[in-house]
Each structure stands twice: as C-alpha cells, then as structure tokens.
Amino acid sequence: MIILIFQVINHGISQTVMDRAVEVASDFFKLPSETKQEFASDDIRRPVRYGTSSKDGTRPSRAFLKHYAHPLSEWMKYWPEKPPTYREDMGKISAEVRRVALQLMEAILEGLGLGKDYQHEEFERGLQLLQVNCYPKEPESESAIGLAPHSDHGFLTILLASCPGLEVLDRSSDTWRVVQQPRHALHVHVRDYMEVLSNGRVKTVVHRAVLNPGEARISMASIHSFAMHEKVSVAKKLVDEQDPEKYKESSFSDFLDYLMSNADKKRMSFLESLRI
Ligand SMILES: O=C(O)CCC(=O)C(=O)O
Ligand SMILES: [Fe+2]
C-alpha cells in the first residue's frame, strides 16, 4: 500500500502570490453577512457556493466558499467581485497551483509504472475546484473539530493554509497526525480517484481540520480531477489475475449526483459504493 502525503517547497510560486491569496480569502470572510449570503445555495452544482457548518449546532465551526477555477475564462465571471482584488489574486494562485498539480500527477503516474503521459489529455482538460475555508479561533477547547474526518473526491488536493489545523489519519496506528504547515509549503494528498485509478495500490487520505487555539485559520484546497463527465477507471496495466479490478468507473458528475441523492450519508461512502 502506498501512502501519498507530502509537502512541496520548491514549487516556484512566489510568496507574494501565496500571501495575497490567503489575505483576499480572509477579507472575503470578513465581508458583511448579506454580501456573502448572495452566494449561499444548497445546489452543489452551482459554480460558486458559500456556506457555513456547525459542529455544536450553535456557532459555525467553518465557513467556506467553493468555486470552479479551470478554465479561468469560463469560471472567473462567477467569482465574488468583493474584495476588489479577489478575482485577480485567486486567479493567479489557481493557475500556479494547477501547473504544480499537473507536474505532480505526472510524477505519481510515472511512479505507478503507467508513464507520465498516461491519460495526459484527460488531466489537461480536467477540472479544478477551489475550496476556501475559514475557521474561527477556538481558545477554550483545544482540538475542537472544524471539519469532520473525510476523504476528498478527485485525484489530488493541494492545500495552502495560514497556520496549522490539518490532521491526517495514520492508518497503521489509527491515530491523527498533525500536519506542520511551514509558510512556503504546499501540502499535497491524494484523493479517492487516485485509489480507483491505481486499483487500490494508493489509498485515499482521510483527514480532518481542528480549530486553531491561537488564531482564525484560512485554508485553500485546490481539487484536481477529470472533466465533469469524463469517466475515471482502474488502469488496466494494474489489473491481473492476483489483482482483479476493484472499482467501478465513474465521473465527477456521478459523484455530485451521489451526494445529492445521499445527502445524509458521509462522503466516504461514494468510494465505498464504487468497490466491486
Ligand atoms: O482546512 C483544512 O486544512 C482541510 C480542508 C479540507 O479538508 C477540505 O476542504 O476538503
Ligand atoms: Fe478535505
């Protein structure tokens, strides 16, 4: 079993571009509630969506803004116009992170013995979704949960955060490991579709976010997958008699349909539903 959680430092993205993205995200969440509520929706197919979730039913433990980011020319027109530099600053970081994601995918595919150009065009025209999170500071109860344990959908997550708060599940000891987040580092982990494509050789990463006792926290997860209706299936080269095909094929759109029809179930169960 291969565990793929790592951090990239030598990514070539300038610190200014990273800092501005965190700053403009933070400024967005400070806007008056009515401005943010314009983006609120339960429809998970909306191009931009704002929402909050609460772990104790009283105060929100996370606010989020999710929007598609590739191609920028198609999606940017839906993004918030306030703060005034939101589109410019988020556009810059999105494009840079996508460049890094495509390079990392090539390295991972090569490591799996599939060759770096495996499904190159599908990755090139693939979707990118930005999930921007804002967690309140929680001075009283250390390790209060901001975002419950889950695995992500798609192939790869690249995460930029203003301070620590992310934890990943160590499957060997069943304990949570705190992820250090040095200022210039991008955290990377693999998602459900990496497990599917690799026929289970690579496992999806279960993770959660805890509230930081010292400061409010901003995180930006960039999600990379195939285009909405493109099916992801097990790489045939990784199937043989000892290792039969373990997952059914599906698309990102199938995942969204699944979420809408199983709103009460955990996200983990979509991957479970694909197991043969
Ligand atoms: O805030 C974090 O560190 C994690 C965010 C996350 O897991 C997500 O947005 O899916
Ligand atoms: Fe996540």
Residue 154, ligand 1, Cβ within 6 A: no
Residues 12-27: tens digit of each pLDDT: 999 999 999 999 999 9
Is residue 21 within 6 Å of ligand 1 at its C-beta?
no
CATH number of 5-274: 2.60.120.330
Distances (CA, A) of 107 to 66, 95, 135, 183: 27, 19, 33, 24
Tokens of 221: 């997860």
pLDDT at residue 192, rounded to an integer: 93
Q: What six digits make up the tokens of 225?
A: 């997958």
C-alpha 222: how far from its chain's center?
A: 5
Q: What secondary structure does DSSP assign to 153-214, as a single string?
A: SSSEEEEEESS--EEEEETTTTEEEEPP--TT-EEEEE-HHHHHHTTTSBPPPPEEEE--SS
Ligand number with the minimum distance to the CA of 163 = 1
Q: Mind listing the pLDDT tens digit for each residue in 78-130?
A: 999 999 999 999 999 999 999 999 999 999 999 999 999 999 999 999 999 99
pTM exceeds 0.90 for this model: yes
Q: Is the pLDDT of residue 143 over 70?
A: no
For 189, the token pair is 């982990």
* pLDDT for res 58: 72
Q: Please report, rounded to a whole number, the percentage of residues in the chain having pLDDT higher than 70.
A: 96
DSSP 44-91: TTSSEEEEEE-SSSSS-SEEEEEEEEESHHHHGGGS---STTHHHHHH
CB of 210 closer than 6 angstroms to any ligand 1 atom: no
Q: Measure Cα distances from 205 to 123, 128, 169, 173, 175 in Å.
A: 20, 19, 7, 14, 13
- pLDDT exceeds cutoff 70 at 141: no
For residues 152 and 195, give the distance between their C-alpha atoms in angstroms, rounded to a whole number. 11
Q: What is the mean predicted confidence (pLDDT) over 227-236?
A: 97
Answer yes or no: is the C-beta of 220 below 6 A from any ligand 1 atom: no
Span from the CA of 221 to the centroid of ligand 1 (angstroms): 6
- Model pLDDT for residues 160-219, shown as the tens digit of each residue: 999 999 999 998 899 999 999 898 999 999 999 999 999 999 999 999 999 988 889 999
Q: Is the pLDDT of residue 266 over 70?
A: no
Residue 166, ligand 1, Cβ within 6 A: yes
* CA angle (190 as vertex; 182, 11 as ends), nearest 5: 40
Q: Which residues neighbour 268 within 8 Å (Cβ) at sequence distance 6 or greater?
A: 150, 151, 206
| 3: pLDDT strictly greater than 80 | no
| The residue count for the chain | 276
% of the chain residues with pLDDT over 90 = 78
Kindly give the number of the ligand 1 atom that is closest to the alpha carbon of 221.
9
Whose alpha carbon is nearest atom 8 of ligand 1? Answer: 221
Average pLDDT over the chain reads 92
Is a pLDDT exceeding 60 seen at residue 241?
yes
DSSP at 1: -
ipTM of predicted assembly, 2 dp:
0.98
Cβ(36) to ligand 1 under 6 A?
no
